[in-house]
Structure 1
Amino acid sequence: MDQKNQWNQKSSVQEFGIQKSSLSKPVHQQVKPTQQVAPKNEQQGENQLVRRVTKRNIGIKKSIVSNEGTIYETFEPLMKPQTPQDIGFIVKCFQAHFVFSSMNETQLIQLAKSMFYCRLVIGQMIIKQGDGASSFFVLEKGKINVLVDGISRKQLSQGNGFGELALLYNAPRSATCVAMEECFLWGIDRHTFRKSVENVMRSEQEKNRQLLEQVKFFNQLTKDQKDAISGVLILQKFNQNEIIVNEGDQASSFYIIVEGKCGVFNKEDVQIATLNPKDSFGESALKHDNQIRMMTIKAIEKDTKVVALGKDMISQILGDKVQYIIYKNICKWALNRSKLFGKVSAAIQDKLLEGVIYRKYLAGQKIINKGDKVGFLYVPLEGNVLDEQKNVITNNIINEESLFDEFINTKHAQSYHMENEGHVAVIDYDKYRNINGSVEKLLDIEQIHPHNQQSHDQVKKLQLKDLVFLNKLGSGQFGSVYLCKDKNMDTLFALKYVTRAHIQQYGIQKHVQQEKAVLEIMNHQFILKFYRSFKDGENIYFLTEYIAGEELFDAIREIGLLGKYDSQFYTAQMILQMEYLHTVHQIVYRDIKPENVMVDQFGYLKLIDMGTAKTLKNVSPPKTFTIIGTPHYMAPEVISGKGYGYFADLWSVGCCLYEFLCGGLPFGEDQEDPFEIYKEIVKNSIHYPQYITDKTAKTIIEQLMNKIPECRLGGSYSSLKNNQWFSDFDWNKLIKRELQPPLIPKKEKVMNNSQIEDQMKKNILVIDQIQKDTMGQKKVFAQQKDAEWDSVF
């Protein structure tokens, strides 16, 4: 549970086009020997699992580790208006570098327009080995010599780009670049790059969202569903008279016109209608299977632009056919409006809807007959339902009062029928209640109860001087964690401190504030419990529960190769942790990995260290653009800088699942250089060891690690938890903690009562122990201006 080390940010000579293998590896980059662990399952035969023993370090966001406005490179800036030829030249160069590989041409053009122009004279050094990195360059004219440790390694010429790692983070340059002749270059610094990309991506997605809002078809989708769809719309350009869809073709895409006009043509090629910007066509392709285009549609203006949405893509994103998604949304909205079901959690609502049946009724057909036994929920989806008094019921539960416990054994007092042809959702509430209990009885269980009030009040009154030192749990970049106890309480605590010296040095005031803000709203059985914070002249302190166990990182090394059940057990808890963060608090965690998860004394998981977590509440679209996390577990969209949201966490969960089953990581297992890891994540596909034969395991890994972020969830957390790979897993028993854990941490790893009593007798205050441990270190004391940020502690 120690504070995580700052990411060891090593630059790569690969950014200058030099193969890393051609250089001797510095001692500080050498990988420690790995330990071999015998595979747990006999089915692997003689295969040996080799797991790394070194832990993956975190990447702290760039504003923490560098001065954002600093330019480290040396050049002479010049004024030059960009021509279309200049932009084309720059874009072509961009396309050769993986950092830009996920951006389309329109986005690259906008980025090219943000570049500056500069000149080098013969012999001028633009980049010096060991200096900080802030800019990427495209060489327009001239030659540049690349040297490592004074030895020439490569020459760059017209069209070469170099220094792209600087766009991701500040790290020492691994080579020196010197002009061999007069050179002219286009450049862009990291700050401009990040802001330009953010502006382009936010603007593009906002335009897409506005388009969806103007199309009636999408009115019955939720905000989150529309956000996801807007992220995968593909912009397409058509010349005048170019065919967009052809009569008789299989219908597989839906289109919205952005610019220009389209014509609708019949079999005789006669135009019978005109479609303008914001008009759409191809709706039936999304709603129904095996649809054939009934008309031909052509662009009738030059440079007509449309956005396209493929049927397969929307099914991957929403997790089902569009029509069923719309039906389910109507059902959920009806449940939310209900006096009875509107009070329960989304989890109970999802459980109710698992067995929903969508029935088609003809005009005049009875839905409920007078005298029928009460017990089913009926929700009109399409068409009007009438009672005997001709009252219209639309999109609400029919006669929901009959479903309360006191009425449940009665019969319907009147009949209901369809006024016109339509569909009705039918939910067997009787069956649900027999298995799970009535919603009235479940309401108390579903309520989020505060921590025990008596102990909570006691902890609030605690002072730093009340805490007795028991043991040191770990150390990190910014401070350490101590096990401690109050004399008058049985509870054991973990006390983490962050020094004001480090807060000031790295500018992490907001970072520390954010960690506390996230911790204090957490209330979940699989997430670390936070009690309170303290501050004094030297440090900021976080008092949390003590987890008597070990990191999941260590646990999976004790187990060896995890089988299906073990992997389900741990992955399921990670999914529940992410569901809670994402759906209850709109928080993206950003650093899921085994090092950030503890296995408690009972063998269940606890998510710890909220230092990277960030709220996306009131952010539209819900995305952030900061590169942060641990390279091996980073999603491609985090690396690209195109913006990312909750789905980035699911990629990391997928990495962990792969690690459980396969022993290593899917990308960069043998790499320590972040640049090399990033390239693998962005460019490579997932490969599995030969002994992984479970197709359902591969399917869920590939869903979680889909390079299209919106496809990872599969529509909802309910859908993800119902994935075929989990078909034999009992989620209810997991939540009730009734499953057998794969591993219980050994007792010798935890202080016993006798050891605690002996330490308590010494009566060493934890604050005194911290002073002793930090003796000789540089200290910074609280200043008056600190009140601007430390008042929350």
Structure 2
Amino acid sequence: MNFEIPPGLTDLLQEFTVAVLRSRPSNLESFAADYFNNLNQKVNGVPKGIGLRFQDGVSNKDEHDHTSQSGTDDEEPAPPPSRDRRKSVSAERYDPEADDDQDYVKVINPKSDEQRKRLNDAIKHILLFRSLDQEQMQEVLDAMFEKAVKPGHEIITQGDDGDNFYVIDSGKYDIYVNVDSKNRKLVGNYTDEGFFGELALMYNMPRAATIVAASDGIVWGLDRQTFRRIVLKTAFNKRKKYEKLIEGCDMLKSLDMYERMNVCDALTSQTFKDQERIIAQGDKADCMYFVEEGQVRVAMVNKKNGADPKATTEKEISRVGPGGFFGELALVTRKPRAASVYAIGPTKCAILDVHAFERLMGPCMDIMKRNIDNYESQLTTIFGGKTNISDLR
């Protein structure tokens, strides 16, 4: 049976997809309902904002917020891409699973020590680069090129196909979204930091906004091929690896697939030596851990009433192996660490920092709170008598 695609459907779905990828909503169904209701109101002349982020590449909530003082939380959905955008060599789809790197040629743009230092400072907080190993990071740094801009210079244009990814070194940059074929609206800005342009490269979509220099400044560019072959492919492989790690985690089964993918993207890896202390009892909590390889032991010093307050003898509480997790308790209770954790042999853990935890783990909170009762029952058996977690801090 043949079906005719209604005019405008492809553009409509593409624009909705870009909005989802930019906003990363925790509830996709609710976001979709708001998005299309708002779009319908706009078509009928009654615009109403739904809190979208328009720029072609903004950092997550746990990175710096680069919107203007007026904010973009009440902006309308971005209009469909311009149909007369220039033809670009980036229109081909990139498949990160395909083993087609034999044609890839490393790009090296020479830099002085001073340039390299500025570049390092500019990219050190970019989440996209966190999953790169040292060799990959060096290759990205080698490939990036410096570009000086003057006020009014249009760095990327809404509707164009993507050519480069950009990191800001210095200067102020305005973010515009087209209102119609002749007018555009200022929806935010960057000042001396930030990045943009990755969405068009990652998802083979046209530029979702126009970025214009509002002052003298410097940006660092990374060509499309290098970005895709290194940054995109590494991020894809990282997601696949962590998908397998967390798919067996009972706590995360309350998350939908989209939410689990966000958790995968936020994880970073760290290795520990045999007997190295990963968490110290009494310390402030800043992250939770998932065990990738190896094993850890959880130990506590009993500091409850009646015990020697200077006691230092620890009792082993439990052990956690691959696929298990620890460190979430202090993040749930917002209290210091209740136990110490040590590596047993070489151990590798995936780490979810406190900001990502608070942003992504809301649907799991009830499960984690129920786990507190299980922990306390276990402690009562080990230490004797009714034992609360708060007694052991």
| TM-score by shorter chain over 0.5 | no
Higher RCO (CA 8 Å, separation ≥ 6 residues): 2
Largest Rg, 1 or 2:
1
Bucket of the pairwise TM-score, normalised by the shorter protein: 0.3 to 0.5
TM-score (norm 2): 0.39
TM-score (norm 1): 0.22
